[in-house]
């Protein structure tokens, strides 16, 4: 992995206004993403992790312009994706693609697998006739399927196979970056490992860069080089994968890690789980100061009045918490 930054997201905000009544103009908003920043380095996998509703998928979809951003920047190859017009954004989708959690919902049930994979080739005018057919067969083989699958429909495949079809479709345009939006969450545990191994293999062979979104730290452990932990629309900790599992700093990360079962019965018996009190606050009306303070076992007075800034703890480790003063 090199240190070249391929995608830089700065202060990304996405709020959804809530419309109340037919003509009402409401100022109430869902604060889905509240100013997240990160750099994606060429060839790496950055895990973006947090509980359901923390804004991680919204962040991924906003970067792809499936939602329009409220503010912020996403610079890919020197261009701000949020300033591109429809035609320019379409062209940019050759460089950045997305795969989705529910492969069945994201594949058109009335199209054959060959046409699903061939559609991006048509949109970007990359191949026609026999060349198109050959490319579809090649993509099917790349994801562990074969040319006979091209004439079948999505419902004829298992969940794992459908995810492979979704990956083949994303690969059709030869992208540099793939946003993987919980690509294994809906799959059986035995299949999850196969998909993760395939994504790692593809990364090595094709030099891909992944933003890998997941709701559970155990899912991203093996695939991620670095991990960003999100809570209520903000990144609270960001560091190399090894650092995060060995020396988590943020109380929320510590709680998430303590919930992962350990596959050693001796160690598992003595595992101390940090049980967080209460539920995740509403993103319509997040708490003052640190958004995590209503559940944090270490909250102090300052946590209610001041939002903690992201602090550099050295060694590529960043944390947003008043317990740390940084360097
Ligand atoms: Fe807990 Fe305060 Fe740190 Fe927030 S800033 S995580 S409330 S100690």
φ, ψ of residue 37 to 5 degrees: the values are: -135, 135
Q: How far is the CA of 304 from the centre of ligand 1 (A)?
A: 9
In sequence order, the β-bridge partners of residue 14 are 33
pLDDT in tens, 270-320: 778 888 888 889 999 999 999 999 999 999 999 999 999 999 999 899 999
Asked if residue 7 lies in contact with residue 75, where contact means CB atoms within 8 angstroms, the answer is: yes
pLDDT in tens, 55-83: 999 999 999 999 999 999 999 989 999 99
Given a contact cutoff of 8 angstroms between Cβ atoms, the answer to whether 1 and 42 are in contact is yes
pLDDT score, position 311: 96
> Is the pLDDT at 104 greater than 60, yes or no?
yes
Q: What is the mean pLDDT of the chain?
A: 92
Taking phi first (over 0 means left), then psi (-120 to 50 degrees means alpha), and beta for anything else, what does residue 17 get? Answer: beta
Given this model, what pLDDT does residue 222 score? 86
Of 41-55, 73-87, 101-115, 253-267, minimum mean pLDDT range: 253-267
* 276 CA from centroid of ligand 1 (Å): 13
Contact predicate 145/122, CB 8 Å: no
Q: Which atom of ligand 1 is nearest to the CA of 297?
A: 1
- The residue that leads in pLDDT, 265 or 168, is 168
Please tell me the number of Cα atoms within 13 Å of 92 on its side-chain side.
20
Runs of H (alpha helix) within 227-295: 241-246, 251-258, 265-270
| Residue 51, helix vs strand vs coil | coil
- Mean pLDDT (whole number) for 239-263: 92
Q: Does ligand 1 have an atom closer than 6 angstroms to the CB of 292?
A: yes
Cβ–ligand 1 contact at 227 (below 6 Å) = no
Q: Which helix (H) or strand (E) holds 76?
A: strand 71-76
Does ligand 1 lie within 6 Å of residue 118's CB atom?
no
pLDDT in tens, 127-182: 999 999 999 999 999 999 999 999 999 999 999 999 999 999 999 999 999 999 99
CA quadruple 108, 111, 116, 120: dihedral sign: negative
Contact 261, 33 (CB under 8 A): no
Hey, which of 288, 300, 301, 319 would you mutate to test ligand 1's pocket, going by the most ligand atoms within 8 Å of its Cβ?
A: 300
What is the distance in A from the centroid of ligand 1 to the CA of 56?
A: 20
310 lines ligand 1 (CB under 6 A): no
Q: What is the largest CA-CA distance in the chain?
A: 68
* DSSP string across 122-167: HHTT---HHHHHHHHHHHHHHTT--GGGGGS-GGGS-HHHHHHHHH
Residues 6+ apart with CB under 8 A from 297: 251, 274, 276, 277
pLDDT for the residue numbered 279: 85
The atom of ligand 1 lying closest to the CA of 293 is 7
pTM: predicted TM-score of the whole model, two decimal places: 0.93
Residue 296 CA: nearest ligand 1 atom is 1
- Ligand 1, atom 3, lies closest to the CA of 321
**Is 319 within 8 Å of 237 (Cβ atoms)?**
yes
Domains, the chain, with CATH or none: 5-95+175-324 (3.40.50.300), 109-174 (no CATH)
Q: Which residue has the higher pLDDT, 227 or 264?
A: 227
Q: Which helix (H) or strand (E) holds 327?
A: none
- Nearest partner of 143 among 122, 111, 116, judged by Cα: 116
């Amino acid at each position: 992995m090199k240190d070249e930054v391929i995608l830089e997201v700065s202060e990304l905000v996405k709020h959804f206004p809530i419309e109340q009544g037919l003509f009402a103009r409401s100022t109430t908003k869902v604060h889905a993403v509240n100013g997240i920043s990160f750099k994606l380095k060429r060839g790496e996998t950055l895990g973006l992790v947090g509980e359901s509703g923390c804004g991680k998928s919204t962040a991924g979809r906003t970067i792809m312009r499936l939602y329009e951003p409220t503010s912020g920047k996403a610079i890919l190859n020197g261009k701000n994706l949020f300033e591109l017009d429809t035609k320019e954004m379409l062209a940019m989708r050759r460089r950045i693609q997305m795969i989705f959690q529910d492969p069945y919902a994201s594949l058109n049930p009335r199209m054959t697998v060959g046409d699903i994979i061939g559609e991006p080739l048509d949109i970007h005018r990359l191949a026609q006739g026999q060349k198109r057919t050959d490319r579809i067969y090649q993509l099917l083989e790349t994801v562990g399927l074969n040319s006979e699958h091209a004439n079948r429909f999505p419902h004829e495949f298992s969940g794992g196979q459908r995810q492979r079809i979704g990956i083949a479709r994303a690969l059709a345009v030869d992208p540099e970056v793939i946003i993987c939006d919980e690509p294994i969450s809906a799959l059986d545990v035995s299949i999850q490992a196969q998909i993760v191994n395939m994504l790692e293999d593809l990364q090595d062979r094709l030099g891909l860069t992944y933003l890998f979104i997941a709701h559970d730290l155990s899912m991203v452990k093996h695939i991620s080089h670095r991990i960003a932990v999100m809570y209520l629309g903000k990144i609270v900790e960001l560091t190399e994968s090894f650092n995060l599992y060995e020396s988590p700093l943020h109380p929320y990360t510590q709680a998430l890690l303590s919930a992962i079962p350990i596959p050693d019965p001796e160690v598992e018996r003595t595992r101390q789980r940090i049980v967080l009190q209460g539920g995740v606050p509403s993103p319509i009306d997040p708490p003052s100061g640190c958004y995590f303070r209503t559940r944090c076992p270490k909250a102090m007075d300052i946590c209610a009045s001041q939002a903690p800034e992201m602090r550099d703890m050295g060694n590529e480790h960043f944390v947003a918490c008043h317990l740390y003063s940084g360097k």
